[in-house]
Amino acid sequence: MHITLKVWRQTGPDATGRFETYEAPDISPEMSFLEMLDLVNERLIEAGREPIEFDSDCREGICGTCGLMINGQAHGPQRATATCQLHMREFSDGEHITVEPWRAAAFPIVKDLVVNRAALDRIVEAGGFITARVGSAPDANLIPVPKESADAAMDAAACIGCGACVAACPNSAAQLFTAAKVQHLNLLPQGQAQRWSRTQEMVETMELFFGSCTNYGECHEACPKEISLDFIAMMNRDYVKAMLTNRQRDGQKKVG
């Protein structure tokens, strides 16, 4: 295959970016998209030119670091597939491919295709944990969990935190990411002790960095793990309850 790449190049957060065009001949259809970029970079280095910066780690669709906008689509044209698992056979010989970083105010560009997604970490830090007594490991069946709750929690926990939902959303909203991180704990017995504080703190931290959800649904379409929009509805319900519960609790503390 012979591919023509139009790649966004930017030397730093405050630099002016631009598209540069690269010819990529002799590309195997069995290569992943990132393997193709590796080959392009090898050729650039051999020619004494600056390689293209992009994020990657596990290359198994688990870590979430490989996010790219490919021809205007988060992670590219194949549904439910992270960039690292996208193969060149999804493209045609002679095709022109535009490659960009995530475009969102909350994701400032570090260099080329690399963005800073620390805003997602701030949301998890606000409440993406449970409090548990330390010591020896508890018996596996000590806390009974209904199968329906376990299945739903596992579906939410499938979120890899790549940020495709934000990049695809016209509002740069992070509701799908936040809902997945909130609900995979809220659905389990182990997460009940901090359910209401967790929900309020994570949602309000999200609102500091990201836009508001207006139900476009692009987040679900772009998500490589197909996280359901139902989790957003569940989070919104829990947020309303959290506001009431936390207000009553705080009022009781003041009276006491």
When pLDDT is averaged across residues 122-138 and rounded to a whole number, the result is 87
Give tens-digit pLDDT for 75-117.
999 999 999 999 999 999 999 999 999 999 999 999 999 999 9
Whether 125 has a pLDDT exceeding 80, the answer reads yes
The CATH code of the domain at 117-255 is 1.10.1060.10
pLDDT interval class at 138 (50, 70, 90): confident
pLDDT interval class at 244 (50, 70, 90): very high
Please give the pLDDT value at position 98: 98
Q: How far apart are CA 149 and CA 146, in angstroms?
A: 5
Annotated domain spans of the chain: 3-111, 117-255
Stretch among 91-100, 141-150, 153-162 having the lowest mean pLDDT: 141-150
Whose CA is closest to 19, among 29, 8, 31? 8
The correct CATH number of 3-111 out of 3.40.50.970, 3.40.50.1170, 3.40.630.30, 3.10.20.30 is: 3.10.20.30
Q: Residues 35, 3: contact at Cβ < 8 Å? A: no
Please give the pLDDT value at position 250: 67
When pLDDT is averaged across residues 176-198 and rounded to a whole number, the result is 96
Angle at 158 between CA 155 and CA 161, to 5 degrees: 135
pLDDT interval class at 253 (50, 70, 90): low
Whether 255 has a pLDDT exceeding 50, the answer reads no
Q: How far apart are CA 109 and CA 115, in angstroms?
A: 4
pLDDT interval class at 212 (50, 70, 90): very high
For residue 209 the two structure tokens come to 């960095």
Q: Residues 18, 50: contact at Cβ < 8 Å? A: no
Q: Considering the chain, what percentage of its residues have pLDDT values greater than 90?
A: 89
DSSP string computed for 77-92? SSTT--GGG-BGGGS-
Whether 249 has a pLDDT exceeding 80, the answer reads no
Q: Side chain identity at 36, as an amino acid letter?
A: M
Predicted TM-score (pTM) of the model is: 0.92
Please give the pLDDT value at position 254: 55
Angle at 114 between CA 15 and CA 18, to 5 degrees: 40
